[in-house]
Each structure stands twice: as structure tokens, then as C-alpha cells.
Chains A and B, each alone.
Chain A
Amino acid sequence: MLAFSSPVIDYHALAPELVLSAGLCVVLLVDLFVPDHRRWITGTLTGLFLLGALVPVVTLAVIGDDVRSSLSGEGVTGRYVVDNFALVLKALFLLTGYIVVLLSAHEIEEGHYQGEFYVLLLSSVLGMVMMASARDLVSLFIALEFLSIPAYMMAAWKKRDRKSNEAGVKYYLLGVFASAVMLYGMSLLYGVAGSTLLTDIGKSVTLKGDRVGVQVLGVVFVIVGFAFKVSAVPFHTWAPDTYEGAPTPVTAFLSVGSKAAGFVGLVVLVYLAFPQARDVYRPFLWVMAALTMTIGNLIALKQTNIVRMLAYSSVSQGGFILMPLAMAFTNGAQETSLRAVIVYLIIYAATNLGAFAIVIAVSRKTRSGEITSFGGLFQYAPGLTVLMTVFLASLAGIPPLGGWYGKFAAFRAVLDAAGGWGYTIAIVGAVNAVIATAYYVNVMREMWMKPVPDSDVTPIKVYGSVQAALVICGVATLVLGVLPGLIAKVGAITDLATGP
């Protein structure tokens, strides 16, 4: 009989995941035993567990010693890693989850399924948290499915609503197809490298020697799989329909959390697995970045539904995150590119969640998703109008607000990369930043200058939880814009470790 040697488990490093898993079981059980009128307890508990999982993230960051492998031992070291990059993103995902819980409190009350909704939300956040640590094809795949499968169900949440059904089915079919294509690419990469560890793949995928064709196909298929997740053009077609049909808090979650998780997966792959495959991923990501910015913007211009407009706007924002990633290993721009991606993800999360929070608050009164329903908002909800203006201006990248620093970081990264590739994409990006302003300003004009469409000026009642979410997002957007030094510091410590 072979001697069994158990891998060493670093429980502190795994603590965020463990807290979330415990939360999953507790919320599911509590939901069984509370009477209907106290169902809100499940939401509160979910929020507490998300914040609870933040505690070990903070303690790990404070201890701050180099890199920890959550499992170590023969054959498992370095496959699931906690480094600064992972910690920053885990914190981002947990906070995003918390804000979505705040937004859901009064929206998801249809039927008696609140408990299940929060269980799904927790498991999706758990998948995102795992994604930040995954450094191996298997853990990357499991994290991706863990965050996607609950999200499919959340998109189809309104069971009797045909639009919500459609949103769920479209998201599901394209998501599953994309992950199947990605898996085929992963199997090819495994065949080339003989290992599923990303750093081993990075050593083998050199685009030299025999099996070059297999390497190229592997890289392309894997990137396509993640491109679906981040809704990059031409793989974005599910996004607007799913965003419009799904309940609005779920839309906020998908457009921020799930998108950020997709980008994290892409970053980890490009930096650890494909650093020597630049000739394949750079043109591919470059073209996708340019298309994503341009097409997302052009279609957003003619939208009349606010959620659909924000959906296309989030597609086009994705292009600004792909832009530095495409130039990652050009002229030593890897550090500024990595920082740009992370900084952009954090600022985009705060701003976009804020914009969706306003949409949720306003549509509770107007019962409409049209942009014209925002007409004359200033007359009866001046606070919401000012905040919405802040969020839209930040999305457009107007200077004193968070968004401008995100765009600044992205442009600096591609200019660092220099050369024809870098300068062209910078020009494409700059043109798009201007186009984007048009549709953001259109909503502002509607709010500030137009008359109220049904001249009903009773003030809007904003629930406490939504107010809290608005305050968090608003403060984050303002502070990150006025004091970009704060977030630059966070960006500076997020070097991707390649494992101990």
C-alpha cells in the first residue's frame, strides 16, 4: 500500500472561501425555518457573510507576507494561490456582492424564493473569489462555472416573465457554448504543456518547434471563451438582451461582478500562460478591443431604454479594459497594463453599480425603463439627479470623477507600450471616449432640462438599503477621482505572483 501524504492546507489563506461556503449552507438552512414575513433575514445574513469573508482578506493583506499557496504538497503547490493581486480582487468581488445584496432587498420579493436567490448570489460570489486565486486550468474552469451557473438562474429569476426567461436562456446557451469552446482550447494547451499549471503552460506555449498549430488554436479558443464572459464584440450579442430581461439588481451584478471575473481570468492567462504567445493574443485582443469600444458605443447612441443603453455602455467600457491587456507584453508595459486593468475594474465597479442603483430607485416610481421616464427628475428627486450625473460623468471619464483616472491609467499603459499598435489603439480609444460622452450627456439633459412626462412630481421613496448602496458607490466614485493616489497605491502592490 502506498503511504498517503496529505497536502498541507493553509486555512488562513482559504478563509474567505470557507466563510462563504459556510454562509451558503447557513442561508439555505435558515431559509427553511423562517416564516414568510421574516424572509428578509436571509438577505441580512448574506450581507453579513459577505462582509465576514472580507475580514480574512484584510488580515491576510495586513500580514502581507509574500505569496501563500492555499494547498501545498507534491503536485498541488502553486495551483491555488493567494497573492496581493488575488487579495485586491477578492475584496472587490465581496464588496460588489454586498452592494448587490443591498440593491436586491426590495426587488427580489416575488414569490417565496428570496432565500434561494441569496444562496445563488453567494455561490456566484464564491466562484469569483476563487477566480482571483486560480493559477491552474482546472481551478480556473471550476471557478468560471461556479460563478456562471448560479448567474444563469439569477438572470431567469422572474419565472412568469417572458423577458426574464428569454434573458436566462440566451445567457445560458451562449455561456455554456463559450465554456465548451474554452475547454477544447484548454485540452489543447494541456496537450502541449503536459501540465495544467499556468506557469508550466507559459514555458511551453512559445509558438516555436512542432505543435505550433495546436498552440495557436489553444490560445485562440481559450481567449474566445473568456471574451464571451466579458461580452467583447463580436461575442457580446447575449449581453443587451440578458441585461434588459434580467431583474435589475442581477443586471448590476452581471455587468460588474461577472464581467470583472472574466477579465481576471483573461489577465491571469495572458500574464502567466501566454507571455510568449504575444503574436497570437495581441492582434486578437487588439482587434477585439477596438471593435468592442466602437460598436458598443455606436449602438448605445440609439438606445431608448436606459438599461439597454447601460448594457451597451458596459460593453464599450470593456473595450477600455481590453486595450491595455492587448498591449501587455509590448515594450515592457506589463506593470502599467496590469495596474490599468485593476484600477479600471475597481472604478468601473463603483460607478456602474451606482448608476444601476439609481435606475432601480427611479423605476420603482416610474415603472418604466425608457430614458424619457427620467425627464424632469431634478424637479422631484434632486439628490438622485445629482448622483446620477456624477455616475454618468464618471462613466464618460470627465475629470474630477473616478472614471477619468481609470481612462488615464488605460491610456498611459498603451502609450507606454508605444509603437504602431499602441498609438493606433490610443487614438481609437480617444475617439470613442468622445462618442460615449454623447449618450451619457443625453440622459443628463433629460434629467435636468426636460419636463416631467406625466407631470407626477411626488417625491421618490428610496429604501434605506438602496440609499446605503448609493452612498458607498457615490463616495467611492468621488474619492477615487479626487484622490487617485489611493487607488494608484492599490494598483502598485498588485503584482501577479507566479507561485512560491
Chain B
Amino acid sequence: MLINEFLLLGAVLFCIGVYGVIARKNAVLVLMSIELILNSVNINLLAFDRLNGGNDGAVFALYIIAVAAAEVGVGLAMVLLIFRNRKTISLDDLSEMKG
């Protein structure tokens, strides 16, 4: 297979992720979209890793997987926090401050 196919898959996932972050109003769905972007990065890194040789890319991908888990942990905690105080996780309702 060509590397292009992997990069294309990565790019498509990236675009779906960015669309999701911008278009979705539900905090959990936004978190999932961000995960999609991070996984598109992993696919890219591994494809380039096989292309270039060495193991920098694979190591980088491992770090990203670990950090993504930490990020989502914090993110879900925050979603719980706003749900407890507002009984909704819609991002449109987060508009206490303006200007």
C-alpha cells in the first residue's frame, strides 16, 4: 500500500474531528471529536514512522495516547462539574460572561 492512503485516512479523520468540535453543542461529543483528531495524528505518525525508519514516530504516538487519556480524564471531570451546577452539558448555555 502507498503511504498516501494512510495520510488520507488521517486527513479525513482530522477534518471530521474539526467539524465535530465546531458544530457539536454537546460537551461530550466535542470531547469525542477531539479524540478523533488525536487519533488521526497517531495514524499520521505511525505511517511516517514506517516511511522514515527509526522509531521517533512510534514513541511520539505512545506519548500522545497517554496524554490523551489524561486530558479526557480532566475533561469528563469538568463536564460532570457543569452538569452538577446547571443540569445541562450544552455548550451554548455557557454564556455567563460576555464582551
> With an 8 A cutoff between CB atoms, is B96 at the interface?
yes
Secondary structure type dominating chain A contacts: helix
Q: A166-B94, A180-B38 are in contact. Are A240 and B99 (CB under 8 A)?
A: yes
Q: Which residues of B contact A476 (CB under 8 A)?
A: none
Give complex CA distance A170, B92 in Å: 11
Chain B nearest CB, measured from A246 CB (Å)? 11
Number of chain B residues whose Cβ lies closer than 8 Å to a Cβ of chain A: 45
A187 and B41 form a contact (CB under 8 A): yes
How long is the Cα–Cα vector from A78 to B29 in the complex, in angstroms? 40
Q: Check B96–A149 contact: CB distance below 8 A.
A: no
Does B82 interact with chain A (Cβ within 8 Å)? yes
Chain B, residues 17-54, CB within 8 Å of chain A (1/0): the string is 11001000001001000100110110011011001111
Interface readout for B77-99 with A: 1 if CB under 8 Å, 0 if not? 11101100110000100111101
Q: State in angstroms the CA–CA spacing of A187 and B48 once bound together.
A: 8
- The answer to whether A191 and B97 have CB atoms under 8 Å apart is no
Contacting pair A180 B82 (CB below 8 A): no
Cβ contact within 8 Å between A173 and B30 = yes
Q: Which residues of A contact B91 (CB under 8 A)?
A: 169, 173
Are B60's CB and A190's CB within 8 A? yes
User: Which of these, A137, A167, A172, A184, contacts B14 with CB under 8 Å?
Assistant: A184
A149 touches B74 (CB 8 A): yes
A306 in the interface, Cβ–Cβ < 8 Å?
no
Contact with A along B58-84 (1 / 0, CB 8 A): 011001100100110011011101100
Residues in A whose Cβ lies below 8 Å from that of B53: 194
**Are B94 and A183 interface neighbours, CB within 8 A?**
no
Measured between beta carbons, the chain A residues less than 8 angstroms from B59 are 138
Nearest-CB residue, chain B, relative to A217: B11
Asked if A196 contacts B81 (CB within 8 A), the reply is no
Answer yes or no: A445 CB below 8 A from chain B CBs: no
B70 & A149 in contact (Cβ 8 Å cutoff): yes
Instruction: Indicate which residue in B48, B74, B96 contacts A191 across the interface (CB closer than 8 Å).
Output: B48
- A156/B67 contact (C-beta < 8 A), A190-B57, A190-B60 known: no
User: A387 CA to B52 CA in the complex, in Å?
Assistant: 57
Q: How large, as a class, is the contact surface on chain A?
A: 35 or more
Looking at the complex, which one of B51, B67, B75, B95 makes contact with A142 (CB distance below 8 Å)?
Answer: B67
Report whether B21 and A165 are in contact in the complex, using a CB–CB cutoff of 8 Å: no
Minimum C-beta distance from B53 to chain A (A):
7
User: Which B residues touch A172, using CB under 8 A?
Assistant: 74-75, 78
Question: CA of A180 to CA of B59 in the docked complex: distance in angstroms?
Answer: 17
Chain A residues whose CB sits within 8 angstroms of the CB of B37 once the complex forms: 177, 180-181, 183-184
Write out the residue numbers on chain A whose beta carbons fall within 8 Å of the beta carbon of B85: 160, 162, 165
Residues 179-193 of A at the B interface (beta carbon under 8 Å): 180-181, 183-184, 186-188, 190-191
- Report B-chain residues with C-beta under 8 Å of the C-beta of A194: 48, 51-54, 56
Cβ–Cβ contact A169 & B41, under 8 A: no
Q: Return chain B residues, CB-CB under 8 Å to A188.
A: 44
Binary contact track A137-160/B, C-beta < 8 Å → 1, others 0 = 110011001000100110010011
A138 touches B17 (CB 8 A): no
Closest to B56 in A: A196
Judge whether A183 and B38 touch: CB under 8 Å.
yes
A195 to B96, CA, bound (A): 45
Least CB distance from B79 to A in Å reads 8
Closest B residue by C-beta to A243: B97
Taken together as a complex, chains A and B put the C-alpha atoms of A172 and B85 apart, in Å, by: 17
The smallest beta-carbon distance between A391 and chain B, in angstroms, is 23
8 Å CB contact of A177 from B10, B34, B44 = B34
Task: Report the minimal beta-carbon distance from A182 to chain B, rounded to whole angstroms.
Answer: 9
Interface core residue of A153, A160, A172, A184 (most chain B CB under 10 Å) = A184
List residues of chain A with CB within 8 A of the CB of B48: 187, 190-191, 194
Binary interface profile of A, 196-228, with partner B (CB < 8 Å = 1, else 0)?
100000000000000000000000000000000
Binding site for A on B (CB under 8 A): 7, 10, 14, 17-18, 21, 27, 30, 34, 37-38, 40-41, 44-45, 47-48, 51-54, 56-57, 59-60, 63-64, 67, 70-71, 74-75, 77-79, 81-82, 85-86, 91, 94-97, 99
- A residues apposed to B, CB below 8 Å: 137-138, 141-142, 145, 149, 152-153, 156, 159-160, 162-163, 165-170, 172-173, 176-177, 180-181, 183-184, 186-188, 190-191, 194-196, 240-241, 244-245, 299, 303, 308
Given A149-B74, A187-B10, 17 other A-B residues pairs in contact with their CB atoms under 8 A: A137-B60, A141-B67, A165-B81, A166-B96, A170-B94, A172-B74, A180-B17, A184-B14, A184-B40, A184-B41, A186-B41, A190-B48, A191-B44, A194-B51, A196-B57, A241-B97, A299-B99
In the complex, 24 of the A-B residue pairs with CB atoms within 8 angstroms, ordered by the A residue number, are A138-B60, A141-B60, A141-B63, A142-B63, A145-B67, A145-B70, A149-B74, A153-B74, A165-B78, A169-B27, A172-B74, A173-B34, A176-B71, A177-B21, A184-B44, A186-B60, A187-B45, A187-B48, A187-B60, A191-B48, A194-B52, A195-B54, A196-B57, A245-B96
